[in-house]
Amino acid sequence: MTVQVGPQIRSIDSPPSRNRFASCHSSQSLTMVLALRRSLAMSSRVANRSLGMLHQQQKAMKHTHTLVLIRHGESEWNKKNLFTGWYDVQLSEKGNKEAAAAGQLLKKEGYTFDIAYTSYLKRAIRTLWHVLEQTDQMWIPVFKTWRLNERHYGALTGLDKQATVEKHGAEKVLEWRRSYNIPPPDLDTSSEYYPGNDIRYKDVLRRICLWPSLWNSRPPAYCPSGRAPLCLASRRARTW
């Protein structure tokens, strides 16, 4: 049986010509080559993107520095389970040992520092002294600020924690201790714990008005870039 195909006549039962097979094979090869090129191009873009990300990460790591935060050792009021806040209590014997041990551990791990920060409270200051002594870095600059003091507990200062829970309830006491929006009861200005009666804090209100909070401002000018700072503070440095 034959059919008319343009100007030519061929049998539909006859096999395709060798040229048709060659043409088909050539077309498939071209398609495979194009697909391979697209795949290679895509792989190249992915590889370049990955290398670019790796380069950015390595570049960022060169500008990454270490900030070491240390809580003070046990204080005399920690031992008695009293609310301490801004009251300037001494470290206990155990607290001094804890601070020295922290310094020894830092030395063992090879830490070196360029600058140190601490609060106005002697429990934090003495902890810093122990750390710097143990790491043989007592020569580095030390800056003190009341903003690193422990949270001020207001009228709770000096009270037994368990007795306060029994009186006001665990939920309310936890709210006073942890909330950023609900302060503890106000402390009477005649109290021995009132910070306004302490020479260290007499001008705090004036300084608050003059200088922006550390939470909202750039690092102080005396903290050079590229340095490794050490910060000694209480567990909760948020104050009221």
- To the question of whether residue 86 is assigned a binding role by annotation, the answer is no
Please name which of 172, 176, 175 lies closest in space to residue 155, comparing C-alpha atoms.
176
- To the question of whether residue 152 is assigned a binding role by annotation, the answer is yes
Give the residue numbers marked as catalytic: 72, 150
- To the question of whether residue 85 is assigned a binding role by annotation, the answer is yes
Inter-residue contact 113 to 228 (CB < 8 Å)? yes
- To the question of whether residue 194 is assigned a binding role by annotation, the answer is no
Query: Tokens 């106005």 label which residue?
Result: 120
- To the question of whether residue 171 is assigned a binding role by annotation, the answer is no
Which residues 6+ apart lie within 8 Å of 130 measured at CB?
A: 73, 96, 99, 100, 102, 103
Distance CA(132)–CA(197), nearest Å, equals 31
- To the question of whether residue 74 is assigned a binding role by annotation, the answer is yes
Positive or negative: CA dihedral 163, 164, 167, 173: negative
Query: For 217-233, b where at least 16 C-beta lie within 10 A, e where not — what string?
Result: eeeeeeeeeeeebbbbb
Measured in whole angstroms, the distance separating CA 204 from the mean position of its chain's CA atoms is: 28
- To the question of whether residue 153 is assigned a binding role by annotation, the answer is yes
- To the question of whether residue 197 is assigned a binding role by annotation, the answer is no
Distance CA(91)–CA(122), nearest Å, equals 8
- To the question of whether residue 18 is assigned a binding role by annotation, the answer is no
- To the question of whether residue 151 is assigned a binding role by annotation, the answer is yes
- To the question of whether residue 110 is assigned a binding role by annotation, the answer is no
Binding residues: 71-78, 84-85, 123, 150-153, 161, 177-178
Residues belonging to the binding site for substrate are: 71-78, 84-85, 123, 150-153, 161, 177-178
